[in-house]
Amino acid sequence: MATLLRLLLVEDSADDAELLLRELRRAGYEPAAERVQTAAELQAALARGPWDLVISDHNLPGFSAPEALALLQASGVDAPFIIVSGAIGEETAVQAMRAGARDYIMKDNLAARPRDRARAARGRGAASAQAHRGAVSPGAAHGGDRAPRGGGIAHDFNNLLTVIRSRTQFLRDGLAPDDPRRGEADMVLEAALRAATLIRQLLVFSRGQVVRPTVLDLHTVVRDMETMLQRMVGERIALRAALAPAPGPVHADQGQIEQIIMNLVVNARDAMPAGGDLTIETANVELDDAWCRSRVDCRPGPHVMLSVSDTGVGMDAETQTHLFEPFFTTKAPDQGTGLGLAVVCGAVKQNGAFIEVSSEPGRGTSFQIFFPRTESPLPGGAAVRPFQGSLQGSETVLLVEDQEGVRFVARDILQRRGYPVIEATDGSEALVILERRADEIALVITDIVMPNMGGPELVRRGLARNPRLRVLYMSGYSDETIDYTGLGAAFVEKPFSPEVFARTVREALNAPSPGS
Protein backbone atom coordinates (compact mmCIF):
# COMPACT_ATOMS: atom_id res chain seq x y z
CA MET A 1 0.00 0.00 0.00
CA ALA A 2 1.32 3.44 -0.94
CA THR A 3 2.28 5.81 1.90
CA LEU A 4 0.31 9.05 1.98
CA LEU A 5 2.50 12.15 1.78
CA ARG A 6 0.88 15.55 2.29
CA LEU A 7 3.13 17.68 0.10
CA LEU A 8 3.17 21.44 -0.46
CA LEU A 9 5.10 22.43 -3.61
CA VAL A 10 6.39 25.96 -4.13
CA GLU A 11 7.09 25.67 -7.83
CA ASP A 12 6.29 27.72 -10.95
CA SER A 13 7.06 24.92 -13.41
CA ALA A 14 4.25 22.41 -13.85
CA ASP A 15 6.64 20.01 -15.63
CA ASP A 16 9.14 20.00 -12.75
CA ALA A 17 6.32 19.50 -10.25
CA GLU A 18 4.96 16.55 -12.23
CA LEU A 19 8.45 14.98 -12.47
CA LEU A 20 8.83 15.12 -8.69
CA LEU A 21 5.36 13.68 -8.08
CA ARG A 22 5.94 10.90 -10.58
CA GLU A 23 9.18 9.86 -8.90
CA LEU A 24 7.55 9.90 -5.47
CA ARG A 25 4.78 7.63 -6.75
CA ARG A 26 7.35 5.26 -8.24
CA ALA A 27 9.02 5.15 -4.83
CA GLY A 28 5.87 4.01 -3.04
CA TYR A 29 4.29 7.30 -1.99
CA GLU A 30 0.85 8.67 -2.75
CA PRO A 31 1.44 12.43 -2.66
CA ALA A 32 -1.55 14.60 -1.81
CA ALA A 33 0.04 17.70 -3.29
CA GLU A 34 -0.82 21.35 -3.73
CA ARG A 35 1.30 23.62 -5.90
CA VAL A 36 1.69 27.34 -5.13
CA GLN A 37 3.71 30.05 -6.87
CA THR A 38 3.41 33.22 -4.77
CA ALA A 39 3.82 34.31 -1.16
CA ALA A 40 0.07 34.87 -0.79
CA GLU A 41 -0.76 31.40 -2.15
CA LEU A 42 1.80 29.83 0.17
CA GLN A 43 0.42 31.60 3.25
CA ALA A 44 -3.09 30.45 2.41
CA ALA A 45 -1.98 26.86 1.83
CA LEU A 46 -0.01 26.76 5.10
CA ALA A 47 -3.12 27.87 6.95
CA ARG A 48 -5.08 25.01 5.37
CA GLY A 49 -2.49 22.36 6.46
CA PRO A 50 -1.35 20.09 7.92
CA TRP A 51 1.64 19.25 5.67
CA ASP A 52 4.25 16.50 5.93
CA LEU A 53 6.77 18.22 3.69
CA VAL A 54 7.35 21.53 1.88
CA ILE A 55 9.51 21.50 -1.27
CA SER A 56 10.41 24.81 -2.88
CA ASP A 57 12.15 25.85 -6.05
CA HIS A 58 15.05 28.15 -5.21
CA ASN A 59 14.02 30.96 -7.58
CA LEU A 60 10.53 31.79 -8.73
CA PRO A 61 9.32 34.97 -10.48
CA GLY A 62 9.06 37.53 -7.69
CA PHE A 63 9.55 34.93 -4.96
CA SER A 64 12.37 32.76 -3.58
CA ALA A 65 13.01 29.74 -1.37
CA PRO A 66 14.44 31.82 1.53
CA GLU A 67 11.25 33.89 1.55
CA ALA A 68 9.15 30.72 1.44
CA LEU A 69 11.15 29.27 4.34
CA ALA A 70 10.61 32.43 6.38
CA LEU A 71 6.85 32.20 5.79
CA LEU A 72 6.85 28.54 6.85
CA GLN A 73 8.71 29.34 10.06
CA ALA A 74 6.43 32.28 10.84
CA SER A 75 3.33 30.14 10.29
CA GLY A 76 4.25 27.70 13.06
CA VAL A 77 3.72 24.70 10.75
CA ASP A 78 6.15 21.94 11.77
CA ALA A 79 7.12 20.54 8.36
CA PRO A 80 10.59 19.94 6.90
CA PHE A 81 11.61 22.33 4.12
CA ILE A 82 13.63 21.11 1.11
CA ILE A 83 14.98 23.30 -1.69
CA VAL A 84 15.28 22.20 -5.32
CA SER A 85 17.43 24.12 -7.75
CA GLY A 86 18.96 23.97 -11.19
CA ALA A 87 22.17 25.52 -9.86
CA ILE A 88 23.00 26.27 -6.25
CA GLY A 89 26.46 26.98 -4.88
CA GLU A 90 28.13 25.84 -1.67
CA GLU A 91 27.75 29.25 -0.02
CA THR A 92 24.05 29.38 -0.87
CA ALA A 93 23.58 25.85 0.48
CA VAL A 94 25.24 26.74 3.78
CA GLN A 95 23.11 29.88 4.09
CA ALA A 96 19.95 27.87 3.40
CA MET A 97 20.74 25.31 6.08
CA ARG A 98 21.76 28.08 8.45
CA ALA A 99 18.28 29.52 7.99
CA GLY A 100 16.66 26.16 8.77
CA ALA A 101 16.26 24.31 5.44
CA ARG A 102 16.49 20.54 5.84
CA ASP A 103 18.19 19.66 2.54
CA TYR A 104 18.47 20.63 -1.11
CA ILE A 105 18.26 18.64 -4.34
CA MET A 106 19.57 19.50 -7.80
CA LYS A 107 16.80 19.52 -10.40
CA ASP A 108 18.78 17.25 -12.70
CA ASN A 109 18.87 14.70 -9.88
CA LEU A 110 15.19 14.67 -8.89
CA ALA A 111 14.89 11.00 -9.79
CA ALA A 112 17.91 9.89 -7.76
CA ARG A 113 16.45 9.10 -4.33
CA PRO A 114 13.02 10.68 -3.73
CA ARG A 115 12.06 7.79 -1.45
CA ASP A 116 15.07 8.36 0.80
CA ARG A 117 14.57 12.12 0.90
CA ALA A 118 10.86 11.89 1.74
CA ARG A 119 11.32 9.09 4.27
CA ALA A 120 14.15 10.89 6.00
CA ALA A 121 12.30 14.19 6.05
CA ARG A 122 9.14 12.67 7.54
CA GLY A 123 10.94 10.48 10.06
CA ARG A 124 13.16 13.03 11.74
CA GLY A 125 11.95 14.74 14.85
CA ALA A 126 12.80 18.18 16.08
CA ALA A 127 16.21 18.70 17.62
CA SER A 128 16.57 20.96 20.62
CA ALA A 129 19.58 23.22 21.15
CA GLN A 130 22.02 22.27 23.89
CA ALA A 131 24.29 24.84 25.50
CA HIS A 132 27.49 24.04 27.36
CA ARG A 133 29.81 26.86 28.25
CA GLY A 134 28.50 28.84 25.32
CA ALA A 135 28.40 25.80 23.04
CA VAL A 136 25.42 24.89 20.88
CA SER A 137 24.92 21.26 19.95
CA PRO A 138 25.80 20.68 16.31
CA GLY A 139 22.51 18.82 16.00
CA ALA A 140 20.47 21.96 16.56
CA ALA A 141 19.49 24.23 13.71
CA HIS A 142 20.81 27.74 14.16
CA GLY A 143 17.79 29.96 14.58
CA GLY A 144 15.26 27.11 14.42
CA ASP A 145 14.22 23.91 16.14
CA ARG A 146 15.03 21.37 13.45
CA ALA A 147 18.45 20.10 12.50
CA PRO A 148 19.48 20.48 8.85
CA ARG A 149 20.31 17.21 7.20
CA GLY A 150 23.29 16.62 4.92
CA GLY A 151 23.07 12.88 4.22
CA GLY A 152 21.16 13.17 0.94
CA ILE A 153 23.42 15.67 -0.77
CA ALA A 154 26.55 14.03 0.67
CA HIS A 155 26.06 10.95 -1.50
CA ASP A 156 25.96 13.03 -4.68
CA PHE A 157 28.95 15.17 -3.74
CA ASN A 158 31.01 12.21 -2.63
CA ASN A 159 30.40 10.40 -5.91
CA LEU A 160 31.61 13.47 -7.81
CA LEU A 161 34.62 13.89 -5.55
CA THR A 162 35.57 10.24 -5.99
CA VAL A 163 35.83 10.83 -9.74
CA ILE A 164 37.67 14.16 -9.34
CA ARG A 165 40.22 12.83 -6.83
CA SER A 166 40.99 9.61 -8.68
CA ARG A 167 41.16 11.04 -12.19
CA THR A 168 43.35 13.90 -11.01
CA GLN A 169 45.63 11.44 -9.22
CA PHE A 170 45.92 9.38 -12.42
CA LEU A 171 46.85 12.51 -14.40
CA ARG A 172 49.37 13.62 -11.80
CA ASP A 173 51.03 10.21 -11.63
CA GLY A 174 51.51 10.29 -15.40
CA LEU A 175 53.52 13.54 -15.30
CA ALA A 176 57.28 13.78 -14.93
CA PRO A 177 58.53 14.91 -11.48
CA ASP A 178 59.67 18.27 -12.89
CA ASP A 179 56.51 18.92 -14.90
CA PRO A 180 54.94 22.20 -13.70
CA ARG A 181 51.49 20.71 -14.25
CA ARG A 182 52.03 18.49 -11.20
CA GLY A 183 51.56 21.60 -9.07
CA GLU A 184 48.24 22.30 -10.78
CA ALA A 185 47.14 18.72 -10.15
CA ASP A 186 48.15 19.04 -6.50
CA MET A 187 45.93 22.12 -6.19
CA VAL A 188 42.95 20.18 -7.54
CA LEU A 189 43.62 17.30 -5.15
CA GLU A 190 43.88 19.70 -2.22
CA ALA A 191 40.59 21.37 -3.20
CA ALA A 192 38.88 17.96 -3.44
CA LEU A 193 40.20 17.04 0.00
CA ARG A 194 38.88 20.30 1.45
CA ALA A 195 35.49 19.70 -0.19
CA ALA A 196 35.34 16.20 1.31
CA THR A 197 36.23 17.67 4.70
CA LEU A 198 33.43 20.25 4.39
CA ILE A 199 30.91 17.51 3.62
CA ARG A 200 32.00 15.54 6.70
CA GLN A 201 31.68 18.73 8.75
CA LEU A 202 28.13 19.27 7.54
CA LEU A 203 27.28 15.65 8.32
CA VAL A 204 28.66 15.86 11.85
CA PHE A 205 26.87 19.18 12.31
CA SER A 206 23.59 17.64 11.17
CA ARG A 207 24.24 14.30 12.92
CA GLY A 208 24.04 12.62 9.54
CA GLN A 209 27.35 10.79 9.98
CA VAL A 210 27.33 7.33 11.50
CA VAL A 211 29.80 6.78 14.35
CA ARG A 212 31.88 3.60 13.89
CA PRO A 213 33.94 3.30 17.09
CA THR A 214 36.90 0.97 17.45
CA VAL A 215 39.66 0.58 20.03
CA LEU A 216 42.36 3.14 19.15
CA ASP A 217 45.79 4.31 20.21
CA LEU A 218 45.79 8.15 19.93
CA HIS A 219 49.58 8.16 19.72
CA THR A 220 49.42 6.19 16.48
CA VAL A 221 46.58 8.28 15.05
CA VAL A 222 48.57 11.50 15.54
CA ARG A 223 51.82 9.99 14.22
CA ASP A 224 50.11 8.76 11.06
CA MET A 225 48.74 12.29 10.44
CA GLU A 226 51.94 14.20 11.19
CA THR A 227 53.25 14.55 7.64
CA MET A 228 49.89 15.71 6.31
CA LEU A 229 49.45 18.17 9.20
CA GLN A 230 52.88 19.68 8.58
CA ARG A 231 51.91 20.34 4.95
CA MET A 232 48.67 21.95 6.14
CA VAL A 233 50.31 24.43 8.52
CA GLY A 234 53.16 25.44 6.20
CA GLU A 235 56.78 26.36 6.84
CA ARG A 236 56.20 29.36 9.12
CA ILE A 237 54.64 27.23 11.87
CA ALA A 238 56.70 24.78 13.92
CA LEU A 239 54.64 21.65 14.54
CA ARG A 240 55.65 19.52 17.52
CA ALA A 241 54.13 16.25 18.72
CA ALA A 242 54.57 15.61 22.46
CA LEU A 243 53.07 12.15 22.68
CA ALA A 244 52.83 9.82 25.65
CA PRO A 245 54.94 6.72 25.00
CA ALA A 246 52.10 4.38 25.96
CA PRO A 247 48.73 6.14 26.14
CA GLY A 248 45.84 3.95 27.16
CA PRO A 249 43.43 2.78 24.45
CA VAL A 250 40.20 4.67 23.78
CA HIS A 251 36.96 3.57 22.15
CA ALA A 252 36.23 6.10 19.39
CA ASP A 253 35.62 6.63 15.67
CA GLN A 254 39.02 7.07 14.03
CA GLY A 255 37.64 9.19 11.19
CA GLN A 256 36.07 11.60 13.65
CA ILE A 257 39.24 11.73 15.77
CA GLU A 258 41.21 12.64 12.65
CA GLN A 259 38.62 15.28 11.81
CA ILE A 260 38.85 16.77 15.31
CA ILE A 261 42.63 17.02 14.99
CA MET A 262 42.49 18.51 11.50
CA ASN A 263 39.92 21.14 12.48
CA LEU A 264 41.84 22.18 15.57
CA VAL A 265 45.11 22.35 13.64
CA VAL A 266 43.52 24.50 10.93
CA ASN A 267 42.05 26.74 13.62
CA ALA A 268 45.50 27.09 15.22
CA ARG A 269 47.15 27.79 11.88
CA ASP A 270 44.70 30.58 11.10
CA ALA A 271 45.37 32.10 14.53
CA MET A 272 49.09 32.41 13.66
CA PRO A 273 49.23 34.26 10.29
CA ALA A 274 52.82 35.37 10.99
CA GLY A 275 53.92 31.92 12.19
CA GLY A 276 54.40 30.40 15.62
CA ASP A 277 54.44 27.13 17.53
CA LEU A 278 51.77 24.43 17.41
CA THR A 279 51.89 21.49 19.81
CA ILE A 280 49.84 18.29 19.73
CA GLU A 281 50.04 16.35 22.97
CA THR A 282 48.68 13.10 24.35
CA ALA A 283 48.85 12.01 27.98
CA ASN A 284 47.27 9.58 30.43
CA VAL A 285 45.36 11.47 33.13
CA GLU A 286 43.26 10.51 36.15
CA LEU A 287 40.27 12.80 36.76
CA ASP A 288 39.00 12.97 40.34
CA ASP A 289 35.58 13.86 41.76
CA ALA A 290 36.56 17.37 42.82
CA TRP A 291 37.82 18.31 39.35
CA CYS A 292 34.77 16.85 37.60
CA ARG A 293 32.16 18.47 39.87
CA SER A 294 32.65 21.86 38.21
CA ARG A 295 32.43 20.51 34.66
CA VAL A 296 29.55 19.25 32.55
CA ASP A 297 29.86 15.75 31.03
CA CYS A 298 32.97 15.00 33.11
CA ARG A 299 33.12 11.63 34.85
CA PRO A 300 35.91 10.70 37.27
CA GLY A 301 38.33 7.98 36.26
CA PRO A 302 41.17 7.23 33.84
CA HIS A 303 41.21 9.28 30.63
CA VAL A 304 43.51 9.97 27.70
CA MET A 305 43.99 13.65 26.99
CA LEU A 306 44.51 14.98 23.47
CA SER A 307 45.47 18.66 23.31
CA VAL A 308 46.20 21.10 20.48
CA SER A 309 47.91 24.33 21.59
CA ASP A 310 49.14 27.35 19.65
CA THR A 311 50.98 30.62 20.31
CA GLY A 312 48.56 32.67 18.22
CA VAL A 313 46.38 35.69 18.77
CA GLY A 314 44.20 34.08 21.45
CA MET A 315 40.61 34.94 22.32
CA ASP A 316 38.82 37.13 24.82
CA ALA A 317 36.16 35.82 27.19
CA GLU A 318 33.26 37.03 25.03
CA THR A 319 34.53 35.17 21.96
CA GLN A 320 34.95 31.99 23.99
CA THR A 321 31.28 32.03 25.03
CA HIS A 322 30.30 31.68 21.34
CA LEU A 323 33.18 29.44 20.29
CA PHE A 324 31.26 26.26 19.49
CA GLU A 325 28.13 27.86 18.05
CA PRO A 326 27.37 26.70 14.50
CA PHE A 327 28.35 29.31 11.90
CA PHE A 328 30.01 31.58 14.48
CA THR A 329 33.35 32.79 13.12
CA THR A 330 35.74 35.70 13.59
CA LYS A 331 37.24 35.10 10.14
CA ALA A 332 36.50 37.00 6.95
CA PRO A 333 33.47 35.73 4.96
CA ASP A 334 35.65 33.99 2.36
CA GLN A 335 37.87 32.26 4.92
CA GLY A 336 35.53 29.80 6.59
CA THR A 337 31.95 28.62 7.14
CA GLY A 338 32.05 28.77 10.94
CA LEU A 339 31.41 25.03 11.18
CA GLY A 340 34.87 23.81 12.21
CA LEU A 341 34.65 24.14 15.99
CA ALA A 342 30.95 23.25 16.06
CA VAL A 343 31.95 20.03 14.29
CA VAL A 344 34.69 19.45 16.86
CA CYS A 345 32.18 19.88 19.68
CA GLY A 346 29.73 17.47 18.06
CA ALA A 347 32.36 14.82 17.31
CA VAL A 348 33.75 15.07 20.85
CA LYS A 349 30.30 14.46 22.36
CA GLN A 350 29.48 11.66 19.91
CA ASN A 351 32.61 9.84 21.07
CA GLY A 352 31.81 10.14 24.78
CA ALA A 353 34.51 12.73 25.50
CA PHE A 354 34.46 16.35 26.67
CA ILE A 355 36.46 19.42 25.75
CA GLU A 356 38.14 22.25 27.68
CA VAL A 357 39.41 25.52 26.23
CA SER A 358 41.86 28.02 27.69
CA SER A 359 42.87 31.22 25.90
CA GLU A 360 43.83 34.85 26.43
CA PRO A 361 44.32 37.63 23.88
CA GLY A 362 47.91 37.58 22.69
CA ARG A 363 48.75 34.40 24.63
CA GLY A 364 47.52 31.66 22.35
CA THR A 365 44.87 28.98 22.77
CA SER A 366 44.81 25.42 24.06
CA PHE A 367 42.07 22.87 23.40
CA GLN A 368 42.10 19.79 25.64
CA ILE A 369 39.89 16.79 24.89
CA PHE A 370 39.47 14.01 27.45
CA PHE A 371 38.56 10.53 26.18
CA PRO A 372 37.59 7.84 28.70
CA ARG A 373 40.19 5.08 28.72
CA THR A 374 38.83 1.67 27.80
CA GLU A 375 39.75 -1.69 29.27
CA SER A 376 39.47 -3.35 25.85
CA PRO A 377 42.79 -4.35 24.27
CA LEU A 378 44.00 -2.86 21.01
CA PRO A 379 43.40 -5.13 17.97
CA GLY A 380 46.10 -7.78 17.88
CA GLY A 381 47.51 -6.44 21.13
CA ALA A 382 48.98 -3.39 19.38
CA ALA A 383 47.99 -0.38 17.33
CA VAL A 384 46.71 -1.12 13.85
CA ARG A 385 49.38 -0.12 11.34
CA PRO A 386 48.91 0.82 7.68
CA PHE A 387 48.89 -2.10 5.24
CA GLN A 388 52.49 -2.87 4.23
CA GLY A 389 52.12 -5.58 1.59
CA SER A 390 51.74 -5.43 -2.18
CA LEU A 391 48.55 -3.86 -3.49
CA GLN A 392 48.68 -5.90 -6.71
CA GLY A 393 46.32 -8.80 -7.26
CA SER A 394 45.00 -11.29 -9.81
CA GLU A 395 41.65 -12.24 -8.26
CA THR A 396 38.45 -11.61 -10.20
CA VAL A 397 36.31 -8.82 -8.74
CA LEU A 398 32.61 -8.13 -9.31
CA LEU A 399 32.13 -4.35 -9.20
CA VAL A 400 28.55 -3.16 -8.61
CA GLU A 401 27.92 0.62 -8.89
CA ASP A 402 25.07 2.54 -10.53
CA GLN A 403 27.01 5.81 -10.98
CA GLU A 404 28.92 5.43 -14.24
CA GLY A 405 31.77 7.82 -13.38
CA VAL A 406 32.46 6.13 -10.04
CA ARG A 407 32.26 2.67 -11.59
CA PHE A 408 34.78 3.59 -14.30
CA VAL A 409 37.16 5.05 -11.70
CA ALA A 410 36.95 1.98 -9.46
CA ARG A 411 37.42 -0.31 -12.48
CA ASP A 412 40.52 1.60 -13.57
CA ILE A 413 42.06 1.45 -10.09
CA LEU A 414 41.48 -2.30 -9.97
CA GLN A 415 42.75 -3.01 -13.46
CA ARG A 416 45.89 -0.93 -12.87
CA ARG A 417 46.59 -3.24 -9.91
CA GLY A 418 46.10 -6.37 -12.01
CA TYR A 419 42.56 -7.45 -11.06
CA PRO A 420 40.15 -8.78 -13.71
CA VAL A 421 36.88 -6.84 -13.29
CA ILE A 422 33.28 -7.78 -14.04
CA GLU A 423 30.89 -4.81 -13.92
CA ALA A 424 27.23 -4.50 -12.94
CA THR A 425 25.07 -1.40 -12.66
CA ASP A 426 22.82 -2.57 -9.82
CA GLY A 427 22.13 -5.45 -7.47
CA SER A 428 19.72 -7.25 -9.78
CA GLU A 429 22.24 -7.41 -12.61
CA ALA A 430 24.99 -8.45 -10.19
CA LEU A 431 22.87 -11.28 -8.79
CA VAL A 432 22.44 -12.76 -12.28
CA ILE A 433 26.22 -12.59 -12.78
CA LEU A 434 26.82 -14.28 -9.41
CA GLU A 435 24.50 -17.12 -10.30
CA ARG A 436 26.43 -17.79 -13.52
CA ARG A 437 30.01 -17.08 -12.44
CA ALA A 438 30.10 -17.51 -8.65
CA ASP A 439 33.10 -19.85 -8.70
CA GLU A 440 35.43 -17.35 -10.38
CA ILE A 441 34.49 -14.26 -8.33
CA ALA A 442 36.74 -13.68 -5.32
CA LEU A 443 35.28 -10.38 -4.11
CA VAL A 444 32.08 -8.39 -4.58
CA ILE A 445 32.56 -4.62 -4.32
CA THR A 446 29.17 -2.97 -4.14
CA ASP A 447 27.63 0.41 -3.52
CA ILE A 448 25.07 0.36 -0.72
CA VAL A 449 22.28 2.55 -2.13
CA MET A 450 21.29 1.66 -5.71
CA PRO A 451 18.07 1.47 -7.73
CA ASN A 452 16.25 -1.87 -8.15
CA MET A 453 18.37 -3.70 -5.57
CA GLY A 454 20.85 -2.22 -3.09
CA GLY A 455 24.08 -3.69 -1.83
CA PRO A 456 22.83 -5.28 1.43
CA GLU A 457 20.05 -7.18 -0.37
CA LEU A 458 22.50 -8.31 -3.06
CA VAL A 459 24.90 -9.56 -0.40
CA ARG A 460 22.15 -11.34 1.55
CA ARG A 461 21.07 -13.25 -1.56
CA GLY A 462 24.64 -13.79 -2.73
CA LEU A 463 25.74 -15.26 0.61
CA ALA A 464 22.75 -17.60 0.56
CA ARG A 465 24.21 -19.08 -2.64
CA ASN A 466 27.87 -18.82 -1.64
CA PRO A 467 28.53 -18.44 2.12
CA ARG A 468 32.27 -17.92 1.49
CA LEU A 469 31.74 -14.80 -0.62
CA ARG A 470 33.97 -11.85 0.37
CA VAL A 471 32.28 -8.44 0.25
CA LEU A 472 33.45 -4.82 0.27
CA TYR A 473 30.81 -2.09 0.61
CA MET A 474 31.40 1.43 -0.66
CA SER A 475 29.17 4.44 -0.20
CA GLY A 476 29.11 8.19 0.14
CA TYR A 477 25.62 8.13 1.66
CA SER A 478 26.53 8.78 5.29
CA ASP A 479 23.05 8.91 6.73
CA GLU A 480 21.99 7.38 10.02
CA THR A 481 19.37 5.28 8.22
CA ILE A 482 22.26 3.06 7.06
CA ASP A 483 24.04 1.09 9.78
CA TYR A 484 27.42 0.29 8.25
CA THR A 485 28.57 -1.52 11.37
CA GLY A 486 25.77 -4.05 11.01
CA LEU A 487 26.33 -4.91 7.37
CA GLY A 488 28.88 -7.58 8.17
CA ALA A 489 31.55 -6.70 5.60
CA ALA A 490 34.47 -4.39 4.92
CA PHE A 491 33.65 -0.79 4.02
CA VAL A 492 35.33 2.06 2.11
CA GLU A 493 33.89 5.56 2.26
CA LYS A 494 33.59 7.82 -0.77
CA PRO A 495 35.35 9.91 -1.82
CA PHE A 496 38.33 7.57 -1.75
CA SER A 497 41.79 7.97 -3.25
CA PRO A 498 43.21 5.28 -5.57
CA GLU A 499 45.67 4.26 -2.83
CA VAL A 500 43.00 3.90 -0.12
CA PHE A 501 40.68 1.97 -2.43
CA ALA A 502 43.42 -0.42 -3.58
CA ARG A 503 44.57 -1.03 0.00
CA THR A 504 41.03 -1.71 1.23
CA VAL A 505 40.43 -4.15 -1.61
CA ARG A 506 43.66 -6.02 -0.83
CA GLU A 507 42.82 -6.18 2.88
CA ALA A 508 39.32 -7.50 2.09
CA LEU A 509 40.79 -10.23 -0.12
CA ASN A 510 43.41 -11.16 2.50
CA ALA A 511 40.81 -11.45 5.26
CA PRO A 512 39.28 -14.87 6.08
CA SER A 513 36.17 -15.58 4.06
CA PRO A 514 32.84 -15.52 5.99
CA GLY A 515 32.29 -19.25 5.70
CA SER A 516 35.78 -20.37 6.69
Given pLDDT bands bounded at 50, 70 and 90, which one contains residue 307?
A: very high
Which range among 84-93, 122-131, 151-160, 218-227 shows the weakest confidence by mean pLDDT? Answer: 122-131
Tell me, what's the pLDDT at 154? 65
Q: Which candidate, 338, 264, 275, 350, places its Cα nearest to that of 312? A: 275
SS3 172: helix
Q: Give the domain ranges of the chain.
A: 3-123, 214-381, 396-510
CATH 3.40.50.2300 assigned to domain 3-123? The reply is yes
pLDDT surpasses 80 at 343: no
In this prediction the pTM is 0.46
Cα–Cα dist 493/98, whole Å: 26
Quote the mean pLDDT of the chain. Answer: 79
pLDDT surpasses 80 at 87: no
CATH match for 214-381 among 1.10.10.10, 3.30.565.10, 3.40.50.10210, 3.20.20.100:
3.30.565.10
Cα–Cα dist 374/32, whole Å: 52
User: What is the average per-residue pLDDT within 39-54?
Assistant: 91
Which range among 4-8, 330-334, 365-369, 390-394 shows the weakest confidence by mean pLDDT? Answer: 330-334
pLDDT in tens, 418-434: 999 999 999 999 999 99
Asked if the domains 3-123 and 214-381 are classified in one and the same CATH topology, the answer is no
Tell me, what's the pLDDT at 135? 33
Tell me, what's the pLDDT at 229? 87
Given pLDDT bands bounded at 50, 70 and 90, which one contains residue 7?
A: very high
CATH match for 396-510 among 2.40.50.140, 3.40.50.2300, 3.40.50.920, 3.40.920.10:
3.40.50.2300
Cα–Cα dist 42/34, whole Å: 10
Tell me, what's the pLDDT at 395? 95
pLDDT surpasses 70 at 90: no
pLDDT in tens, 484-502: 444 557 888 888 888 889 9
* Range picked from 100-104, 192-196, 258-262 for highest mean pLDDT: 258-262
C-alpha of 39 from chain center: 35
DSSP state of 148: -
Percent residues over pLDDT 70 in the chain: 77
DSSP 309-365: EE-S----HHHHHTTTSTT--SS-GGG--S-HHHHHHHHHHHTT-EEEEEE-TTS-E
